Amino acid sequence: MQEKIRRLIVITTDILIIFCSFVLSLKIRFGSSINLNTNSLMLNYIFFTVMLMVIFYMKGIYNIRIFNKPKTHFYGILSSVTVGVLVFALVQFFTKSFFAVQSRLVIVLLGFFQLVLFSTVRVFVVPKFLNFLYSANVLKRKNMLVISKKTDKYDEIIKFFDRNRFLGLQPMNGFKTREEFEKLIREDNIREILLDSSSENFSDLGEEIEDYSRLGRELTIKSKLLKDLPDSFPGMWGEIEKDHLILFQNKEKPLVKKILTRIIDIIIAGVSLIILLPLFLGVGLLIKLTSKGPVFFKQRRMGYKGREFTFYKFRSMRGKDDSQDRAKQFKKYVEDKHSMNINGKKVVKVVDENRITFIGKIIRKLSIDELPQLINVLKGEMSLVGPRPSLPYEVELYKQWHKARFDVKPGLTGIWQVYGRSSSHFNVAMFMDYYYVQNSSMHLDINLILKTFPVIFGGIGGY
């Protein structure tokens, strides 16, 4: 109930800001001659309000934890308002009738006032107002159990959540045995856990998270290791004493999400295969003309629930199968001993560059070699978004928390492809995929799909 009230306050504030922006823009442009009660203006206001709130949602701006990152919050508002105003302008251009505002100045002023008001009210005023409501006990904070071996750090954690009461979290001392804090979780209505991790590597951190995730509560991780992830990585929402914080929601995936995901997979994969047919034919012809061998490379991979399937790619390499050598290389990669230098950059992806063909270099750089996996998506063996499918010899080296990737279908793209690609060490890449499995949602999937395009066309991390 408390969270719903807090969300209602934020949404109501947004609606009022958009309304004020509309009124100011119209009054400046048309003066007192404008009638604000016309159906046309009301339709414009409703359309823009709904559109901008959807964009805010997709950008994660309705996640209350973004208030703890003012810079990220501001840039999120800036990009959202920019996109919203551009879409609104295009709609006005193509609907020069009942729906139109028919004034470029109104649209420019609308963007200006929204940016100023949202940046001021959302970034500075709303957090202070929510802090006041929690301090005055108008809103009640939910209990959060703090688990740490560093008992001297507990005071700093308390201060952090007292400064940021708008988060609605009340830390409780959890420096107890496992049995004691499991009892606390049951008896004191603990809604979230903060794990102050002492792990020295991502492998140990992953095992810790796997263990505490079984308690079925939202889990915030505080760790020095998280500095190795990009600041824009999903779930990263704060910092205590230079240790970053990341949230694992650990929510059950509803059946409707799985059904909707499958429908979207079929539609997008089917349409894409039809549209890309000329590209497939062209790439296939170039591969045949420039090197010996088949157009498609087929390989056995492991997917959902560990089931094997045939994985398709455009062939980008020459020579015989070298899976035994690659298995040995992969073992070194897992142990963080394997690294290569490609084009002056240190990478850790297991690949023999000498076997890559001229055409192969191009299609790998642009990730065109991955497009035949749309066939796997259409067959239901893969999804558009998910962890990359594993090779059998890779799975032999997996720890228990690594195997969580089999709880979802492998994907054509995924969180590692967007935020890491070939520059991430094994356990960092596995941690990213583990985060996706524990937090997968339509919202996250759509964002990863949208962010995949600039990564691919920019050739980031591909080779």
> Strand, coil or helix: what is 60?
coil
Alpha-helical regions (H) of 95-125: 104-117
Which residue ranges in the chain fall short of pLDDT 50?
338, 340-344, 461, 463
Phi, psi of 347 (to 5 degrees): -130, 165
Query: Cα separation of 253 and 401, whole Å?
Result: 18
Structure-block tokens of residue 280:
């497939």
| pLDDT recorded at residue 3 | 82
CATH 3.40.50 residue window(s) in the chain: 142-248
Q: Which residues contact 271 (CB under 8 A, 6 or more apart)?
A: none
Structure-block tokens of residue 48:
């823009």
Query: Which of 399, 458, 392 has its CA nearest to residue 434?
Result: 399
- The greatest distance separating any two alpha carbons of the chain, rounded to the nearest whole angstrom, comes to 79
E strand or H helix at 154: helix 154-163
Residue located via tokens 């107002």: 129
Give residue 21's identity as a one-letter amino acid code.
Answer: S
| pLDDT recorded at residue 342 | 44
Q: Regarding beta strands 345-347 and 340-342, do their DSSP bridges make them parallel or antiparallel, or are they unpaired? A: antiparallel
Q: What is the dihedral of CA 67, 71, 75, 77, to 10 degrees?
A: 30
E strand or H helix at 413: strand 411-413
Q: Which residues contact 243 (CB under 8 A, 6 or more apart)?
A: 196, 222, 223, 224, 226
Q: Regarding beta strands 383-385 and 411-413, do their DSSP bridges make them parallel or antiparallel, or are they unpaired? A: parallel
336 and 430 Cβ atoms separated by less than 8 Å: no
- Give whole-number Cα distances, 165 to 63, 64, 132, 152, 169, in Å: 15, 11, 8, 22, 7
Class of domain 142-248: alpha beta
| pLDDT recorded at residue 447 | 87
Query: Cα separation of 71 and 124, whole Å?
Result: 11
Beta partners for 196?
A: 148, 222
Q: Which residues contact 58 (CB under 8 A, 6 or more apart)?
A: 443, 446, 447
Please give the model's pTM, rounded to 2 decimal places: 0.84
Structure-block tokens of residue 436:
């996706």
Query: Cα separation of 340 and 156, whole Å?
Result: 41
Query: Which of 132, 155, 161, 141 has its CA nearest to residue 220?
Result: 161
Gap between the terminal Cα atoms of the chain = 50
Query: Cα separation of 442 and 55, whole Å?
Result: 14
DSSP 251: P
Q: Which residues contact 83 (CB under 8 A, 6 or more apart)?
A: 55
E strand or H helix at 456: helix 442-457
Phi, psi of 355 (to 5 degrees): -90, -5
Count the residues in the chain: 463
| pLDDT recorded at residue 423 | 56
Query: Cα separation of 14 and 151, whole Å?
Result: 41
191 and 220 Cβ atoms separated by less than 8 Å: no
Q: Which residues contact 283 (CB under 8 A, 6 or more apart)?
A: 295, 314, 359, 363, 368
413 and 452 Cβ atoms separated by less than 8 Å: yes
